[in-house]
Structure 1
Amino acid sequence: MSLTLIITFIALLGSLYVFCPSSAELPWFEHPAKPDGSLSFLVVGDWGRRGAYNQTKVAHQMGIVGEKLKIDFIISTGDNFYDDGLTGVDDAAFFESFVNIYTAPSLAKQWYNVLGNHDYRGDVEAQLSPVLRDIDSRWLCLRSFIVNAEIAEFIFVDTTPFVNKYFTDPEDHVYDWSGIQPRKSYLANLLKVN
């Protein structure tokens, strides 16, 4: 990741902060930078394909790049399991799309995951469950949270509930809205600022 891209990413995060919940309301995780003060990470999204659609090839390349950059962690931007999320904490897709795919030693780092619209089409609470973290300690998935990496704060926001069409015109999909109802209250809480 180039320095310009990192600075742009951090600047975007800073500008988003005014729209995000206050740090007192979100779970907060500390992830130290390297001893020299640097930080490197990979960002991936829309990956849960049970190895198909070039997922294994991308995972292989992520392993190579991750080793070269000596990455500190991985950020997943959602749509972790296609097409319809997980069916439960015992869904084989967790192994077939995550555990057995991202096997490179350089990817044996913390994964910070958020949900995407496809994840809401399954048992959303399964992805949020600590049971998956017990199965694979790399997995951390919450609706919204903050990671303080010393030189930058990463703010993860559950944006799927903001999209009206998923509620009003779900395109023949069933979405699991457990944990965010009533929607207005959920969104209002998420938009609070310091």
Structure 2
Amino acid sequence: MSQMLEEDFTEEGGELNLQHDELQEHNNNDTIIKQLSPSSEYIDLNTSTLKPLHRYLLIGFVTFLVLIFFGSLMGVIIKNRKKLRQSGLTFPQPTYTPSDDKLHFLVIGDFGRENDAQRKVANSMGEYCKENDGCDFVVGVGDNIYQSGVESIYDEQFKTKFEDIYNHKALEDLDFYMILGNHDYRNDVKAQILYTQLSKRWKMLDFFYEINKKSRLGGFDLNLLFTDTNPFHFLFFLDPLTNKTVINEQAKRIPEQMEWLKSKLRKPKGDDQWTIVAGHSPVYSASQHYDSQPLIQNFEPLFREYRVPLYLCGHDHQLGWMANREIINSREQTQYIISGAAGGSIYRTIKYNPNLFNYYVGEGGFYSVEVQHDFIFVIALNENGEEIYKFRIDKQ
């Protein structure tokens, strides 16, 4: 490139080169050959060397513009960062009341990488459960095996990217309730469902399914609805590695899945029952994937109608907390947590989204969710198991 620039300069700036040569020659003789224009040049009295004044003026002007630009940019960033963290639903110190009658679970997503970040998060999960009165189960919100799922039910990756990773003593007896992510829709998709028959901990009962849990002392029930969001997204069909047979099959089941979801949410709920929904893709996103219009159109109306308090998801490789600000503090509002950093937080860029309440883009992390009779307490934790932010959802 330097050669090209030099050639261009010689052709277009030959006259300038000539002037420079003349000046250099006469400078060597300590003489000045040009009449100086006060508006364009001056004499440096210290060196008696000619310097173009307009060059310095231009540099100063450009520097001024750059400073204004970056000053304005920092103002926007600071303003937006404040917006990202302000909310009528954020609590600097949300009230937490301990109870023996609870259900405590962790949420992880986008994790099956067999890398240091996944191992570090897995160990922190175990330590967190050990130090916080134990955990009852784990929810995995998809992209369980990178990069392309598994080839069979006997694929070695089940061992190297799951069984051998989550081997902390506090995790070894926990059920991991799993759903499919877009990376899991490659190769043998159904093998991840069938692996449930071989594993003591891996639980994926179908493409979409329900789990019912009773609290430790039996004071309330928790219904967990695991959905398959992959067939809702057109871009997943364009992925050349996606198993087209399976995703087309599941696309045809979208009406069935929606009717199933509606029927589960429609069931009468008393004061002693909670319902939480999980899926791989976010409804709202502050990452490169943007908001999901198919889920906004299909899921959110049901969430609002049936007052779903919490939706768990991944896909964005970060920890994010979202909610629809148009219905802030409404009984219809659902909180959305994005837990896509259990294999490392790869997406470092946060796009401003008015529905974003808080986020984390460190080296990795996970969520703790504790359900009690009267509230749900959510904590975002980094790769070291350190608290980042927390919030509380009260029963309406």
Q: Which TM-score band (shorter chain)?
A: 0.7 to 0.9
Amino acid at match of 2:190: E
- Cross-structure match for 1:90: 154
1: CA distance, partners of 2:196 / 2:254: 27
Unaligned residue ranges in structure 2 (runs of 5+): 1-88, 91-98, 215-220, 264-396
Structure 1 pair 153/127, CA: closer, same or farther in 2 (3 Å)? same
> For the residues of structure 2 that align with 1:76 and 1:177, how far apart are their CA atoms?
24
Partner of 2:227: 157
Question: Which residue of the other structure, out of 174, 191, 201, is the alignment partner of 1:138?
Answer: 201
Q: Deviations over 1:5-59 (max 9, x none)?
A: 9xxxxxxxxxxxxxxxxxxxxxxxxxxxxx932110000011101x215111111
Match of 2:246 in 1: 178
Q: CA deviation at 1:152?
A: 2.1
TM-score of the pair, normalised by structure 1: 0.73
Greater per-residue strand proportion? 2
Matches within 5 A, 1:68-87: 68-69=131-132, 70-87=134-151
Q: Partners of 1:86 and 1:96 in 2: how far apart?
A: 12
Contact 2:231 2:250 in 1 (8 A): no
Q: Decide whether aligned partners of structure 1 residues 74 and 176 sit closer, same or farther in structure 2, where only a CA change above 3 A counts.
A: farther
Q: Give 1:145 shift.
A: 1.2
- Give how far 1:164 is off: 1.4
The answer as to 2:128 corresponding to 1:128 is no
Residue in 2 aligned with 1:114?
179
Summarize the Cα distance change of 1:144–1:97 in structure 2 as closer, same or farther, 3 Å threshold: same
The aligned runs of 1:47-58 (5 Å cut-off) are 47-49=111-113, 51-58=114-121
1:189 aligns with 2:256: yes
Question: What residue number does 2:167 align with?
Answer: 103
Deviations 1:50-74 (A, max 9, x none): x215111111111101212300000
Query: How do 1:15-94 and structure 2 match up within 5 A?
Result: 36-49=100-113, 51-69=114-132, 70-94=134-158
Q: TM-score, normalised by structure 2?
A: 0.37
- How far does residue 136 in structure 1 lie from its aligned partner after superposition? 2.1
How far off its partner does 1:116 sit?
0.3
Number of equivalent positions: 156
Aligned counterparts of 2:124 and 2:178: Cα–Cα separation in 1: 20
Q: Measure how far apart 1:153 and its partner are.
A: 1.4
Which amino acid counterpart does residue 121 of structure 1 have in structure 2?
R
Cα root mean square deviation, aligned? 2.2
Deviations 1:98-127 (A, max 9, x none): 111100121120110000000001210110
Does the aligned pair in 2 maintain the 1:123–1:176 contact within 8 Å? Answer: no
Q: What is the rounded CA distance, in whole Å, between the counterparts of 1:179 and 1:107 in structure 2?
A: 32
**Gaps spanning 5+ residues in structure 1: where?**
6-34
Structure-2 residue corresponding to 1:19: none
By relative contact order (CA 8 Å, sep 6+), the higher-ranking structure is: 1
Go from structure 1 to structure 2 and tell me whether the alpha carbon gap of 1:94 and 1:154 turns closer, same or farther (over 3 Å shift). Answer: same
Give the Cα separation in 2 of the matches to 1:38 and 1:155.
19
Deviation for aligned residue 1:180:
5.7
Instruction: List per-residue Cα deviations over 1:79-104 (Å, max 9, x = no partner).
Output: 00000000111111000001111001
